[in-house]
């Protein structure tokens, strides 16, 4: 996703002359093509995220379209008040991009984990929370955020995630993308869990369960039509995320369902625990530890159907 | 007899001071001494420095002014009324339900460039505006007025390093150095001194002035331009509560609200006729 983002921002820099990249002292080589093509529109803001976010707000207030980029916890909770007051309060078109979200940097320790960012950012008025599922969605998300022109948080994984979409799907912030049809269960997959969701669906299919899989890339605003349909037609509605259950996408669906008075007994939220994770190894190992693998997910869904 | 000639900036500052004293009492709003402290700077900037067009508040090439010490909002509001961004009568709604003149500036109010009130937010945004001018090849300047207590915030120093690295010569920050913050002397709460040397060592062009001397204020900011290589920091020595003898350098007035009698005393000291003290726009 990281490389897809760098490629997308370089390309979109051509069609959006007001796009300005601000980076928090990372991705130096990654953005070389952008710097080569748009030298006056790339700024390394150093290890100073509060200032970087304020600078972005100042640029946006002057008609430019800034993107802030650094490792997720530093670009979200570190500078949360700047996002809240400088960006969201005046409703400015700043795009906050966090790289290494969820457990992407599991091995780096809890300082670099980001299991709370969705929960925290979705509470901010005017903010849009977008979690692309694969490299294809990264480009589409960035393009649509530029169209939207409102405060937008884009939650990236790391590099090397599998491409799920063989061809670019229609992508609109706030509208989920169905990637597999099915009649018994729907898995609403958030961000980088999509490949795992599809594997879980395949496993369940072999047990005779028909599973729809949706890339629910936008956690705020939620897709009302998608959720209405899911709770009306399916026996189980799963929300799958590499994020804490507290306040995450599943929690957002729970809030939605409570207000809409749907049958919330159908809801199964799968995510991370309410504790700091330590000694969890690689992302793959960390996911195994938390039960975020198809081998764990498929049986949980199956037991809900019994 | 009514004097119809336009006020100079010194007269304007006196008129502004009388009005904010009145507004503080009417709204029962705190931070009066903070507004009085920076009033000469605000009056001089809005009178003679800032290139603005109240009919086009978002005019792309306007000078930017950010009141980063947002708790002095009343000082900004009287200036915005004087320029015509908001009607004079709006000042009477300060702090009331339904009024955009809140105790800290709202970005929804015409002429307000940034939502301030949480300290340390103005300078980074000012850096962004100054950088935007360079990217867009525009000649306007950005001014950010901060408090000395505000310099406790780490984001101020992050922004100082950024502005110096980017050579934002079109950026001017002014510290209203009244030596007080909410609960004590600013040099004692955190080690603020030596403030001038600190900013110099951060790569800024630092001007140390009497923040109540209009000629000195004007002189300190006149060179600010896109052609300069260093951002300018004006360390303006001021007196908190300036202009009202019984408020000067008395930090109780950070939060105290003047009584009706105290408003009358202040108005007499400021030597502003009652009619004038009720109206800031000539």
Residue-wise pLDDT tens digits, A48-80: 999 999 999 999 999 999 999 999 999 999 999
Q: How confident is the model at residue A15 (pLDDT cuts 50, 70, 90)?
A: very high
Question: Is B249 a residue whose pLDDT tops 90?
Answer: yes
Closest to A304 (Cα-Cα) out of A186, A179, A206: A186
Question: Is A95 a residue whose pLDDT tops 90?
Answer: yes
* Residue A150 confidence (pLDDT): 98
The string of pLDDT tens digits covering residues A184-222 is: 999 999 999 999 999 999 999 999 999 999 999 999 999
Q: Establish if A238 touches chain B: CB-CB under 8 angstroms.
A: no
Compare B280 and B165 and report the one with higher pLDDT: B165
Residues in B closer than 8 angstroms to A25, CB to CB, are none
Question: Is B78 a residue whose pLDDT tops 50?
Answer: yes
Question: Is B280 a residue whose pLDDT tops 80?
Answer: no
CA distance, residue A88 to nearest chain B CA (Å): 10
Q: What percent of chain A has pLDDT over 70?
A: 100
C-alpha span between A73 and A103 (Å, rounded):
11
Q: How confident is the model at residue B5 (pLDDT cuts 50, 70, 90)?
A: low
C-alpha span between B100 and A219 (Å, rounded):
32
Alpha helices, DSSP H only, in B93-213?
A: 122-135, 154-165, 186-189, 195-201
Q: Are A55 and B125 within 8 A, CB to CB?
A: yes
CA torsion angle B233 B238 B240 B245 (round to 10): -160
Contact (CB, 8 A) for B141 and B203? no
Question: Is A179 a residue whose pLDDT tops 60?
Answer: yes
**Strand order from edge to edge, sheet including A218-220:** A42-44, A19-23, A65-71, A95-99, A152-155, A128-130, A218-220
Query: Which of A16, A55, A56 is most worth mutating to test chain B (most B CB atoms within 10 A of its CB)?
Result: A55
Q: Are B128 and A58 within 8 A, CB to CB?
A: yes
Residue B278, φ and ψ in degrees, nearest 5: -90, -15
Question: Is B3 a residue whose pLDDT tops 70?
Answer: no
* Overall average pLDDT of the B16-41 stretch: 97
3-state helix, strand, coil in chain A (%, to 5): 45, 20, 35
Q: How confident is the model at residue B140 (pLDDT cuts 50, 70, 90)?
A: very high
Residues in B closer than 8 angstroms to A43, CB to CB, are 131, 166
Q: What percent of chain A has pLDDT over 90?
A: 98
Question: Is B1 a residue whose pLDDT tops 50?
Answer: no
Q: What is the mean pLDDT of chain B?
A: 95
Residues in A closer than 8 angstroms to B107, CB to CB, are 89-90
Q: Are A55 and B128 within 8 A, CB to CB?
A: yes
Residues in B closer than 8 angstroms to A64, CB to CB, are 132, 135-136
Contact (CB, 8 A) for B46 and B10? no
* Residue A159 confidence (pLDDT): 87
* Overall average pLDDT of the A229-243 stretch: 98
* Residue A111 confidence (pLDDT): 96
* Overall average pLDDT of the A32-55 stretch: 97
Question: Is B276 a residue whose pLDDT tops 70?
Answer: no
Alpha carbons within 13 angstroms on the beta-carbon side of residue A39 total 1
Token pair in block for residue A300: 């949980």
Q: What is the mean pLDDT of chain A?
A: 97
Q: What percent of chain B has pLDDT over 90?
A: 93
Q: Are B155 and A50 within 8 A, CB to CB?
A: yes
Contact (CB, 8 A) for A272 and A287? no
Contacts of range B262-265, beta carbons closer than 8 Å, 24 or more positions apart: B262/B21, B262/B25, B263/B21, B263/B22, B263/B25
Question: Is B97 a residue whose pLDDT tops 60?
Answer: yes
Search chain B and give the residue with CA nearest A39.
B135
The string of pLDDT tens digits covering residues A284-303 is: 999 999 999 999 999 999 99
- Three-class SS of residue A103? coil
Closest to A70 (Cα-Cα) out of A38, A45, A42, A104: A45
Question: Is B148 a residue whose pLDDT tops 80?
Answer: yes
* Residue B282 confidence (pLDDT): 45
* Overall average pLDDT of the A83-99 stretch: 98
Least confident of A231-245, B107-121, B261-275: B261-275
Closest to A234 (Cα-Cα) out of A213, A248, A207, A219: A213
- Three-class SS of residue A53? helix
The string of pLDDT tens digits covering residues B44-57 is: 999 999 999 999 99
């Amino acid at each position: 996703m990281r490389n897809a983002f760098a490629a997308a921002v370089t390309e979109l820099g051509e069609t959006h002359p007001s796009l300005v990249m601000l980076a928090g002292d990372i991705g130096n080589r990654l953005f070389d093509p952008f710097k080569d093509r748009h030298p006056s529109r790339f700024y390394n803001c150093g290890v100073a995220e509060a200032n970087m976010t304020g600078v972005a707000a100042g640029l946006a207030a002057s008609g430019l379209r800034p993107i802030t980029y650094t490792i997720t916890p530093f670009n979200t909770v570190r500078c949360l008040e700047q996002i809240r007051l400088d960006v969201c309060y005046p409703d400015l078109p700043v795009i906050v991009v966090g790289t290494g979200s969820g457990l992407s940097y599991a091995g780096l320790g809890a300082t670099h984990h980001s299991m709370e960012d969705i929960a925290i950012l979705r509470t901010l008025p005017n903010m849009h929370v977008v979690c692309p599922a694969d490299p294809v969605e990264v480009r589409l998300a960035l393009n649509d955020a530029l169209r939207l022109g409102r405060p937008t948080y884009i939650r990236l994984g790391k590099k090397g995630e599998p491409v799920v979409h063989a061809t670019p799907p229609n992508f609109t912030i706030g509208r989920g993308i169905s990637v597999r049809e099915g009649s018994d269960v729907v898995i609403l997959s958030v961000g980088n869990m999509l490949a795992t969701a599809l594997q879980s669906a395949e496993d369940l299919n072999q047990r005779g369960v028909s599973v729809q899989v949706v890339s629910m890339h936008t956690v705020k605003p939620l897709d009302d039509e998608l959720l209405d349909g899911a709770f009306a037609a399916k026996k189980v509605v799963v929300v799958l995320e590499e994020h804490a259950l507290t306040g995450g996408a599943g929690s957002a669906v729970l809030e939605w369902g409570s207000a809409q008075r749907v049958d919330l007994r159908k809801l199964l939220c799968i995510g991370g625990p309410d504790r700091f994770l330590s000694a969890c190894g690689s992302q793959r190992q960390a996911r195994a530890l938390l039960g975020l693998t198809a081998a764990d997910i498929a049986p949980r869904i199956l037991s809900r159907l019994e | 007899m009514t004097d119809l000639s336009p006020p100079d900036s010194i007269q304007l500052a006196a008129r502004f001071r009388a009005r904010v004293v009145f507004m503080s009492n009417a709204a029962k709003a705190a931070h009066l001494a903070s507004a009085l402290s920076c009033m000469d700077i605000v009056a001089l900037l809005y009178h003679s420095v800032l290139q603005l067009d109240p009919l086009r508040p978002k005019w792309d090439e306007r000078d930017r002014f950010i009141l980063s010490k947002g708790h002095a909002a009343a000082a900004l509001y009287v200036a915005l009324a004087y320029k015509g961004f908001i009607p004079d009568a709006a000042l009477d709604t300060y702090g009331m339900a339904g009024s955009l003149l809140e105790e800290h500036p709202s970005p929804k109010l015409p002429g307000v460039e940034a939502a301030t009130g949480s300290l340390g937010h103005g300078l980074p945004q000012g850096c962004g505006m100054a950088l935007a001018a360079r990217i867009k090849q525009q000649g306007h300047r950005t001014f950010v007025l901060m408090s000395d207590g505000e310099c406790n915030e780490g984001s101020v120093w992050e922004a100082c390093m950024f502005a110096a690295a980017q050579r934002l010569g079109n950026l001017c920050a002014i510290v209203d150095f009244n030596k007080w913050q909410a609960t004590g002397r600013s040099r004692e709460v955190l080690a603020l001194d030596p403030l001038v040397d600190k900013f110099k060592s951060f790569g800024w062009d630092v001007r140390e002035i009497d923040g109540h001397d209009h000629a000195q204020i004007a002189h300190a900011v006149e060179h600010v331009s896109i052609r300069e290589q260093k951002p300018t920091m004006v360390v303006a020595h001021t007196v908190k509560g300036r202009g009202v003898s019984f408020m000067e350098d008395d930090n109780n007035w950070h939060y105290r609200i003047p009584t009706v009698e105290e408003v009358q005393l202040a108005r007499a000291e400021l030597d502003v006729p009652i009619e004038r003290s009720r109206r800031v726009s000539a």
